[in-house]
Structure 1
Amino acid sequence: MHQILFYIGNWPIRSYGVMLSLGILAGLAVSCYMAKKQGRFVEEIMDLAFYAVVGGLIGARLWEVAFSWDYYSQNLWQIPAIWNGGISVQGSIFGGLVAVIWYCKKHKITVWPMLDTLAPGVLVGQAVGRVGCFLNGCCYGIPHEHLGVIYPPGTDAYYAFGAQPLFPAVLFEAGWDLVVLAILLMVYKRKPFDGFIALSYFVLYAIGRFTLEFWRGDSLRTFMNLKAAQVSSVATIIVALAIMFYLYNRDRQSESSDKLSMKN
């Protein structure tokens, strides 16, 4: 793994930044592909992309800074330095979601169909970005003899555990993202209501994240013996399932009303 891929003059080109950029581009490409297949939202997604990326980066950094305030309060100049790592996937999801909802409301676009269209691209972007985390040596796992990877000096993982083999949690998370992507693509055409794909993404990603946190060695503060990411994952699952239940019932009631009106 290499934190710095090469230099342009004295400027280092970091693998983390490269993979983050590739993740954004790959996610955008997949979202545009999904939009073209449906015959809608192609131009809107291209226009929306800037706001979603900015919102996602801001949310990702603010989430990380908030849960690591003990460090950042003493190193304020590091707060904007996202090129050194230290951004949260969960924060990026929240920030990007806020930006998408704002954009849809501003341009009078129905939110749930748009979120369904974007969900597969988000998963691809997350998977590629997680490879950048691995190359950067951050988001490392706990010591693990059989599945462990030894991180080189200069990485956060080496600073924390030395030359011990550590569980590559982020690679497993990238793999889980692709599994979730495959599931969503299989059910996409048969979704029972608008919002089902996006909400399924939230539930399935949160399940994987909650599980993998048991093998993470760098996780943020804990609450009630759970890690912060696990608490937010549980909250995400509960909220997403509740919204699913509401949307499903709303659509069924609407169908029943339409049938009753036709009979009358």
Structure 2
Amino acid sequence: MYPILLSIGSFEFRAWGLMVALGVFAGLWLVMRLAKNSEFSPEMLQEYVLYGVIAGFLGARLWEVVFSWQDYTSNPLHALMFWQGGLSIQGAVIANLLLAGWYFRRKGLSFRRFADISTPGLILGQAIGRIGCLLNGDAYGKPTTAWYGVVYQPGTSAYQAWGAMPLVPAELFEAGLDLMILAILLYIFRRKQFDGQVALTYFILYSLARFGLEFLRTDSLVFGGLKVAQMTALLTAMLASSLWLWYRKGETE
């Protein structure tokens, strides 16, 4: 894999940053298409994405630091160096849930309708972002002798952990699952029975997919002997399922 696409002096043009940027723009494009003729104007969505990207980076880094604080006790300033690795999608999503809840309620708009419009764009962005993780050599899987094993470049975190041993490309597996989830969300979007159905389906399906993928990964955050992503995935799936049933029941009564 090729984490650095181009170097100009001391400046490095990194593949991960490019793919994340492409993911943001692709996600925004899809959200704006889904929001056409709705109460969410393109200008409003563009403004929110600007705030959302900042909140996402902060939340993603905070999540990582909280669950691996022992790595930063000797030098707390390293917690600010997100470019050296350590960003979690769970933290980014939680930060944006809090931000969107505040932002759209302040404007008198439905948070649940916005969530339905935005989650297809979110999962599209995640799929593209995982390609960036593959190129960057992080979010990697365990050693394998299968034909699809990937050998990462020296200098990547995967190479530092396993050397030239072929590893399961967990990033590609997740990207594929993300695209499958996207197809399901788009199908539900035009047929939804209540506001929030698309978003809750995203949380259920992605959480279940992430729970399974964590069995393949070897770079996961661990807290108390358990993988953080698996614990939070199960809790999220259970909470989203409960809300799905509650909202569905409210529509049928």
> Do residues 4 (structure 1) and 1 (structure 2) align?
no
CA contact (8 A) 2:115 2:199 kept: yes
Letter in 2 for 1:40: E
CA contact (8 A) 1:141 1:168 kept: yes
Which residue does the alignment assign to 1:99? Answer: 99
CA contact (8 A) 1:54 1:96 kept: no
User: What is the CA–CA distance in structure 2 between the aligned matches of 1:17 and 1:74, rounded to whole Å?
Assistant: 28
* Secondary structure, aligned partner of 1:122: helix
Alignment deviations for residues 16-60 of structure 1 (CA, whole Å, 9 cap, x no partner):
111111111111111111111x43313321221122112111111
Letter in 2 for 1:112: R
Which residue does the alignment assign to 1:229? Answer: 229
Report the CA distance between 1:80 and its aligned residue. 2.3
* Secondary structure, aligned partner of 1:140: coil
User: Any residues of structure 2 matched to 1:1-264 within 5 Å, and which?
Assistant: 1-36=1-36, 38-42=37-41, 43-146=43-146, 147-223=148-224, 226-253=226-253
CA contact (8 A) 1:52 1:97 kept: no
Q: For the aligned residues, what is the CA RMSD?
A: 1.4
Greater RCO between the two (CA within 8 Å, min separation 6)?
Answer: 2
User: What is the CA–CA distance in structure 1 between the aligned matches of 2:200 and 2:237, rounded to whole Å?
Assistant: 9
Q: Which runs of 5+ in 1 are unaligned?
A: 254-264
CA contact (8 A) 1:85 1:136 kept: no
User: What is the CA–CA distance in structure 2 between the aligned matches of 1:123 and 1:204, rounded to whole Å?
Assistant: 11
User: What is the CA–CA distance in structure 2 between the aligned matches of 1:40 and 1:139, rounded to whole Å?
Assistant: 37
* Secondary structure, aligned partner of 1:193: coil
Which residue does the alignment assign to 1:257? Answer: none
CA contact (8 A) 1:180 1:205 kept: yes
Q: Which runs of 5+ in 2 are unaligned?
A: none
Aligned length: 251
CA contact (8 A) 1:206 1:233 kept: yes
Provide the TM-score with structure 2 as the length reference. 0.95
Provide the TM-score with structure 1 as the length reference. 0.91
Report the CA distance between 1:65 and its aligned residue. 1.0
* Secondary structure, aligned partner of 1:202: helix
CA contact (8 A) 1:213 1:230 kept: yes
* Secondary structure, aligned partner of 1:7: strand
* Secondary structure, aligned partner of 1:165: coil
Q: Which moved more, 1:117-126 or 1:44-53?
A: 44-53
User: What is the CA–CA distance in structure 2 between the aligned matches of 1:138 and 1:124, rounded to whole Å?
Assistant: 19
Report the CA distance between 1:85 and its aligned residue. 2.7
Structure 1 residue runs of 4 or more that deviate by more than 3 Å after TM superposition: none
Relative distance call for 1:197 and 1:102 in structure 2 (3 A) is same
